[in-house]
Structure 1
Amino acid sequence: MDIMSKNGKIFSLDIGTRTIIGVVGELQDNSFKILASEKIEHEKRNMYDGQIHDIDSVVKIVTKTKELLEQKLNTKLDKVAIAAAGRALKTHRSSLEREIDFSIEIDERLVESLEMEAIQIAQSSLDKSTLKEEQKYYCVGYTVINYYLDGNFMEKLEGHKGNRIGVDVLATFLPYTVVDSLYTVMNRVGLEVVNLTLEPIAAMNIAVKKSLRLLNIALVDIGAGTSDIAISKDGTIVAYAMASVAGDEITEEIARTYLLDFDAAEKLKIGLNSKDVHKFIDIVGVEHQIKTETILDAINPSIKTIAREIGNKILEFNEKAPSAVFLVGGGSQIPRLNEYIGEVLGLQKERVVVRDASIIENVLDIPEELHGPDAITPIGIGYFAINNMYKDFTEVNVNGQKIKLFNTKNLKVSDALAFAGFNPRKLIPKRGEGIIYYLNGEQKKVFGEVGEPAKIYVNEKLANLETGLKNGDSVRVIEASKGREAQINVLDCINMSKRVIVNNKYIKLVLEVRINKELISDNILINNGDIIETKEIRHLSQLLSYMDINKDEHIVYKDGKIINNDYALKEDDILVVKASRNGETKEEESHQKSIRLTINGEETEILHDRTSFIFVDIFDYIEINLTKPQGELILNVNGIKAEFTQELKDGDKIEVYWKK
Structure 2
Amino acid sequence: MGDVVFSLDIGTRNVVGIVAKMEDDKYKVIDYEIMEHPERAMYDGQIHDIEKVSLVVDKVKTRLEERLSLKLQYVSIAAAGRALKTQKVFVQKEIDFTKEIDKAVIDSLEIEGIQLAQKKLEEVSNDEDTRYYCVGYTVMNYYLDGSVIGNLKGHRGREIGAEILATFLPHVVVDSLYTVVHKCGLEVVNMTLEPIAAINIAIPPKFRLLNLALVDIGAGTSDIAITKDGTIVSYAMVSTAGDEITECLSKTFLLDFDTAEKLKIQLNQKDEHTFCDIVGISYNLKTDEIVEKIEEAIRDLSKEISDKILEYNGKAPSAVFCIGGGSQIPKLTEYLAQDLGLPKERVVIKGTEVFENVEFLKDSLCGPEYITPIGIGYTAVKDKEQDFLQVTVNGKSIRLFNSKELCISDALILIGYNARKLIPERGKSVTFYINGVKRTIYGEYGEAAKIYINDKLGNLDTKLKNMDRIVINPATPGKDAKVKIKDIIEGEEVILNGQNINLIKDIFVNGKEVDEDYEILDGDEVVIEKIDNISELMNICNIDLDKSEVFINDKLANKDEKLKKGMVINTKLKAVESEEKGEASKTILRDDKDYITVTVNGEKVDIKKEKKDIIFVDIFNYIDFDIKVPKGILVLKLNGKKASYTDVLKDGDVVEIYWN
- TM-score category, normalised to shorter length: 0.7 to 0.9
Matched, 1:354 2:349: yes
SS of structure 1 residue aligned to 2:267: helix
CA distance in structure 1 between the aligned counterparts of 2:182 and 2:388, rounded to whole angstroms: 17
CA distance in structure 2 between the aligned counterparts of 1:392 and 1:636, rounded to whole angstroms: 81
How far is the alpha carbon of 1:249 from its aligned partner?
Answer: 2.9
Query: Is residue 585–residue 621 contact of structure 2 (8 Å, CA) maintained in 1?
Result: no
CA distance in structure 2 between the aligned counterparts of 1:321 and 1:44, rounded to whole angstroms: 40
Matched, 1:115 2:110: yes
Alpha-carbon displacement from aligned partner over 1:286-314 (angstroms, at most 9, x marks no partner): 55433222332333333233222222221
How far is the alpha carbon of 1:440 from its aligned partner?
Answer: 2.9
- Aligned counterpart, 2:437: 442
CA distance in structure 2 between the aligned counterparts of 1:329 and 1:591, rounded to whole angstroms: 113
- Aligned counterpart, 1:515: 509
Alpha-carbon displacement from aligned partner over 1:510-558 (angstroms, at most 9, x marks no partner): 2333334444456232333333333322434433343344557524242
SS of structure 2 residue aligned to 1:275: coil
Residue 126 of structure 2 aligns with an amino acid whose one-letter code is L
How far is the alpha carbon of 1:590 from its aligned partner?
Answer: 14
Task: Out of 219-228 and 14-23, give the one that drifted further.
Answer: 14-23
Matched, 1:13 2:8: yes
SS of structure 1 residue aligned to 2:457: strand
Matched, 1:41 2:48: no
How far is the alpha carbon of 1:184 from its aligned partner?
Answer: 2.0
- Aligned counterpart, 1:401: 396
CA distance in structure 2 between the aligned counterparts of 1:371 and 1:493, rounded to whole angstroms: 82
How far is the alpha carbon of 1:133 from its aligned partner?
Answer: 9.1
Query: Is residue 22–residue 28 contact of structure 2 (8 Å, CA) maintained in 1?
Result: no
Query: Is residue 323–residue 351 contact of structure 2 (8 Å, CA) maintained in 1?
Result: yes
Task: Out of 412-421 and 296-305, give the one that drifted further.
Answer: 296-305
- Aligned counterpart, 1:527: 521
Query: Is residue 122–residue 128 contact of structure 2 (8 Å, CA) maintained in 1?
Result: no
Seen in structure 2, the aligned counterparts of structure 1 residues 611 and 184 have a Cα distance that, compared at 3 Å, is farther
CA distance in structure 2 between the aligned counterparts of 1:530 and 1:311, rounded to whole angstroms: 60
Residue 455 of structure 2 aligns with an amino acid whose one-letter code is E
Matched, 1:416 2:411: yes
- Aligned counterpart, 1:609: 620
Structure 1 spans left out of the alignment, 5+ residues: 1-5, 598-605, 614-619, 625-634, 655-660
- Aligned counterpart, 2:100: 105
Residue 609 of structure 1 aligns with an amino acid whose one-letter code is F
CA distance in structure 1 between the aligned counterparts of 2:506 and 2:551, rounded to whole angstroms: 25
| Match of residue 335, structure 1, among 321, 330, 339 | 330
Aligned ranges 1:295-314 → 2 under 5 Å: 295-314=290-309
Residue 220 of structure 2 aligns with an amino acid whose one-letter code is G
How far is the alpha carbon of 1:349 from its aligned partner?
Answer: 2.6
How far is the alpha carbon of 1:176 from its aligned partner?
Answer: 1.5
Matched, 1:186 2:197: no
Matched, 1:504 2:515: no
Seen in structure 2, the aligned counterparts of structure 1 residues 84 and 133 have a Cα distance that, compared at 3 Å, is farther
CA distance in structure 2 between the aligned counterparts of 1:178 and 1:411, rounded to whole angstroms: 20
CA distance in structure 2 between the aligned counterparts of 1:492 and 1:144, rounded to whole angstroms: 46
Matched, 1:177 2:188: no
Seen in structure 2, the aligned counterparts of structure 1 residues 589 and 19 have a Cα distance that, compared at 3 Å, is farther
CA distance in structure 2 between the aligned counterparts of 1:610 and 1:477, rounded to whole angstroms: 70
Alpha-carbon displacement from aligned partner over 1:408-427 (angstroms, at most 9, x marks no partner): 21112211111211121122
- Aligned counterpart, 2:217: 222
Query: Is residue 311–residue 344 contact of structure 1 (8 Å, CA) maintained in 2?
Result: yes
Query: Is residue 15–residue 37 contact of structure 2 (8 Å, CA) maintained in 1?
Result: no
Residue 131 of structure 2 aligns with an amino acid whose one-letter code is K
- Relative to the length of structure 1, the TM-score reads 0.83
Seen in structure 2, the aligned counterparts of structure 1 residues 111 and 534 have a Cα distance that, compared at 3 Å, is same
CA distance in structure 1 between the aligned counterparts of 2:243 and 2:623, rounded to whole angstroms: 105
How far is the alpha carbon of 1:359 from its aligned partner?
Answer: 4.4
Alpha-carbon displacement from aligned partner over 1:370-393 (angstroms, at most 9, x marks no partner): 342122212222222223222222
How far is the alpha carbon of 1:577 from its aligned partner?
Answer: 4.3
Query: Is residue 38–residue 68 contact of structure 1 (8 Å, CA) maintained in 2?
Result: no
SS of structure 2 residue aligned to 1:430: coil
Alpha-carbon displacement from aligned partner over 1:247-287 (angstroms, at most 9, x marks no partner): 23333443444455544433332222111223345556655
How far is the alpha carbon of 1:589 from its aligned partner?
Answer: 12
Seen in structure 2, the aligned counterparts of structure 1 residues 289 and 442 have a Cα distance that, compared at 3 Å, is closer
- Aligned counterpart, 2:427: 432
Seen in structure 2, the aligned counterparts of structure 1 residues 590 and 472 have a Cα distance that, compared at 3 Å, is farther
Aligned ranges 1:283-294 → 2 under 5 Å: 287-294=282-289
CA distance in structure 1 between the aligned counterparts of 2:422 and 2:171, rounded to whole angstroms: 29
Residue 447 of structure 1 aligns with an amino acid whose one-letter code is Y
Query: Is residue 3–residue 21 contact of structure 2 (8 Å, CA) maintained in 1?
Result: yes
Query: Is residue 586–residue 622 contact of structure 2 (8 Å, CA) maintained in 1?
Result: no
Structure 2 spans left out of the alignment, 5+ residues: 588-598, 603-616, 625-630
CA distance in structure 2 between the aligned counterparts of 1:517 and 1:621, rounded to whole angstroms: 40
CA distance in structure 2 between the aligned counterparts of 1:490 and 1:648, rounded to whole angstroms: 27
- Aligned counterpart, 1:574: 568
CA distance in structure 2 between the aligned counterparts of 1:336 and 1:195, rounded to whole angstroms: 37
Alpha-carbon displacement from aligned partner over 1:500-519 (angstroms, at most 9, x marks no partner): 22343322222333334444
- Aligned counterpart, 1:152: 147
Percent pairwise identity: 47
Matched, 1:233 2:228: yes
Query: Is residue 220–residue 328 contact of structure 1 (8 Å, CA) maintained in 2?
Result: yes
- Aligned counterpart, 1:129: 124
Seen in structure 2, the aligned counterparts of structure 1 residues 285 and 526 have a Cα distance that, compared at 3 Å, is closer
Aligned ranges 1:592-603 → 2 under 5 Å: none
- Relative to the length of structure 2, the TM-score reads 0.83
Kindly name which structure, 1 or 2, has the bigger radius of gyration based on alpha carbons.
2
CA distance in structure 1 between the aligned counterparts of 2:250 and 2:409, rounded to whole angstroms: 50
CA distance in structure 1 between the aligned counterparts of 2:556 and 2:297, rounded to whole angstroms: 99
CA distance in structure 1 between the aligned counterparts of 2:128 and 2:304, rounded to whole angstroms: 26
SS of structure 2 residue aligned to 1:369: coil
CA distance in structure 1 between the aligned counterparts of 2:659 and 2:543, rounded to whole angstroms: 33
Report the aligned-residue RMSD. Answer: 3.7
CA distance in structure 2 between the aligned counterparts of 1:621 and 1:414, rounded to whole angstroms: 66
Seen in structure 2, the aligned counterparts of structure 1 residues 276 and 505 have a Cα distance that, compared at 3 Å, is same
- Aligned counterpart, 1:616: none
- Aligned counterpart, 1:269: 264
Seen in structure 2, the aligned counterparts of structure 1 residues 514 and 272 have a Cα distance that, compared at 3 Å, is closer
How far is the alpha carbon of 1:653 from its aligned partner?
Answer: 13
Seen in structure 2, the aligned counterparts of structure 1 residues 278 and 443 have a Cα distance that, compared at 3 Å, is closer
Matched, 1:542 2:536: yes
Residue 462 of structure 2 aligns with an amino acid whose one-letter code is T
Residue 263 of structure 2 aligns with an amino acid whose one-letter code is L
Seen in structure 2, the aligned counterparts of structure 1 residues 285 and 51 have a Cα distance that, compared at 3 Å, is farther
Seen in structure 2, the aligned counterparts of structure 1 residues 464 and 556 have a Cα distance that, compared at 3 Å, is same
How far is the alpha carbon of 1:165 from its aligned partner?
Answer: 0.9
How far is the alpha carbon of 1:648 from its aligned partner?
Answer: 5.3
